[in-house]
A and B are shown apart, each in its own frame.
Chain A
Amino acid sequence: MRHHTLLPHTADTRLRITADSLEELFKGAVEGLSEIIKHGVTKKKSDASIFTEVDVTSRDVTALLVDLLNDLLARDVIEKAVFFDVIELNLEATSATAKVRGISVETFDEDIKAVTYHGAQIRFHKDGTYEVELVLDI
Chain B
Amino acid sequence: MITEGNLKQIGPVEWEIPLSFRRDMRVPARFFASKSMLAEILGDRSLDQLVDVATLPGIVGYALAMPDMHEGYGFPIGGVAATQWPDGVISPGGIGYDINCGVRLLNTGIAQSEFAPFKEALARDLSQSIPSGTGQGAKMTLDFAELDAVLTQGVGWTLSKGYATESDITHTESGGRIDSADPSAVSDFAKKRGCGQLGTLGSGNHFVEVGFVEKIFDEEAARAFGLKLDQITILIHTGSRGLGHQVATDYIKIMLQALPDFGITLPDRELACLPFSSPDGQRYFAAMSAAANFAWANRQMITYRTREAWKRTVGNGDLSLVYDVAHNIAKVEEHKVDGKLSKVVVHRKGATRAFGKGFAELPEDYQRIGQPVIIPGSMGTASYVLVGAATAMEKTFGSACHGAGRLMSRHAAKAKQLGRDLQKELASGGIIVKSAVVRDLSEEAPYAYKDVDDVVNVIESAGISTKVARLRPLVVIKG
Is B252 within 8 A of A113, CB to CB? no
Q: Least Cβ distance of A132 to chain B in Å?
A: 13
**Chain B residue at minimum C-beta to C-beta distance from A112:** B245
Is B70 within 8 A of A10, CB to CB? yes
Is A10 within 8 A of B71, CB to CB? yes
> In the complex, what distance in Å separates the CA atom of A53 from the CA atom of B467?
54
> In the complex, what distance in Å separates the CA atom of A113 from the CA atom of B328?
14
Q: How many A-B residue pairs have CB under 8 A?
A: 98
A138 touches B (CB below 8 Å): yes
- Extra pairs beyond A58-B253, A111-B202 (12, CB < 8 Å): A8-B409, A8-B412, A10-B70, A77-B135, A78-B193, A107-B133, A111-B135, A113-B245, A116-B73, A116-B97, A116-B270, A118-B74
Which among A6, A11, A108, A119 is the interface contact of B406 at CB below 8 angstroms?
A11
Q: Least Cβ distance of A7 to chain B in Å?
A: 8
Residues of A within 8 A of B189 (CB): 74, 78
**Are A58 and B257 also in contact (CB < 8 A) when A111-B203, A113-B245, A114-B248 are?**
yes
Q: Least Cβ distance of B53 to chain A in Å?
A: 13
Residues of B within 8 A of A11 (CB): 70-72, 77, 406, 409
Q: Least Cβ distance of A138 to chain B in Å?
A: 6
> In the complex, what distance in Å separates the CA atom of A113 from the CA atom of B269?
17
Which among B44, B135, B268 is the interface contact of A119 at CB below 8 angstroms?
B268
Interface residues in B219-278 (C-beta closer than 8 Å to A): 242, 245-246, 248-249, 252-253, 256-257, 268-270, 272
**Chain B residue at minimum C-beta to C-beta distance from A138:** B204
Residues of B within 8 A of A138 (CB): 204, 410
A92 touches B (CB below 8 Å): no
Which among A12, A110, A117 is the interface contact of B134 at CB below 8 angstroms?
A110
Residues of B within 8 A of A108 (CB): 134-135
**Chain A residue at minimum C-beta to C-beta distance from B135:** A108
Q: Least Cβ distance of B447 to chain A in Å?
A: 14
Chain B interface main SS type: mixed
Task: Give 1 or 0 for each of B86-121: 1 = CB within 8 Å of chain A CB.
Answer: 000000000011100000000000000000000000
B393 touches A (CB below 8 Å): no
Residues of A within 8 A of B77 (CB): 11
> In the complex, what distance in Å separates the CA atom of A117 from the CA atom of B136?
27
Is A78 within 8 A of B192, CB to CB? yes
**Are A13 and B268 also in contact (CB < 8 A) when A114-B97, A117-B256 are?**
no
Task: Give 1 or 0 for each of A22-36: 1 = CB within 8 Å of chain B CB.
Answer: 000000000000000
A120 touches B (CB below 8 Å): yes
B159 touches A (CB below 8 Å): no
Q: Least Cβ distance of A99 to chain B in Å?
A: 19
Is B257 within 8 A of A114, CB to CB? no
Q: Least Cβ distance of B66 to chain A in Å?
A: 15
A59 touches B (CB below 8 Å): yes
Is A114 within 8 A of B249, CB to CB? yes
Residues of B within 8 A of A86 (CB): none
B13 touches A (CB below 8 Å): no
Is A77 within 8 A of B408, CB to CB? no
Residues of A within 8 A of B134 (CB): 107-111
Is A9 within 8 A of B272, CB to CB? no
A70 touches B (CB below 8 Å): yes
Which among B44, B74, B96, B136 is the interface contact of A10 at CB below 8 angstroms?
B44
> In the complex, what distance in Å separates the CA atom of A13 from the CA atom of B406?
13
**Chain B residue at minimum C-beta to C-beta distance from A70:** B249
B340 touches A (CB below 8 Å): no
> In the complex, what distance in Å separates the CA atom of A138 from the CA atom of B410?
9
Residues of A within 8 A of B23 (CB): none
B411 touches A (CB below 8 Å): yes
> In the complex, what distance in Å separates the CA atom of A108 from the CA atom of B245?
16
Is B257 within 8 A of A59, CB to CB? yes
> In the complex, what distance in Å separates the CA atom of A63 from the CA atom of B203?
27
A131 touches B (CB below 8 Å): no
Residues of A within 8 A of B242 (CB): 74, 77
Residues of B within 8 A of A118 (CB): 72-74, 268-270
Is B70 within 8 A of A74, CB to CB? no
> In the complex, what distance in Å separates the CA atom of A8 from the CA atom of B77?
17
Residues of A within 8 A of B133 (CB): 107
> In the complex, what distance in Å separates the CA atom of A90 from the CA atom of B371?
54
**Chain A residue at minimum C-beta to C-beta distance from B439:** A109
Residue of A59, A78, A111 ringed by the most chain B CB atoms within 10 A: A111
Residues of A within 8 A of B96 (CB): 137
Is A137 within 8 A of B73, CB to CB? yes
Residues of B within 8 A of A8 (CB): 409, 411-412
Residues of A within 8 A of B192 (CB): 74, 78
Is A80 within 8 A of B135, CB to CB? yes
A67 touches B (CB below 8 Å): yes
Q: Least Cβ distance of B401 to chain A in Å?
A: 15
Residues of B within 8 A of A119 (CB): 73, 268
- List 15 interface pairs A-B (beta carbons < 8 Å), by A numbering: A9-B71, A10-B409, A12-B410, A58-B256, A67-B253, A74-B246, A80-B135, A110-B134, A114-B245, A114-B248, A117-B269, A118-B73, A118-B268, A137-B245, A138-B410
A65 touches B (CB below 8 Å): no
> In the complex, what distance in Å separates the CA atom of A78 from the CA atom of B194?
9
> In the complex, what distance in Å separates the CA atom of A49 from the CA atom of B73?
36
A135 touches B (CB below 8 Å): yes
> In the complex, what distance in Å separates the CA atom of A108 from the CA atom of B71?
26
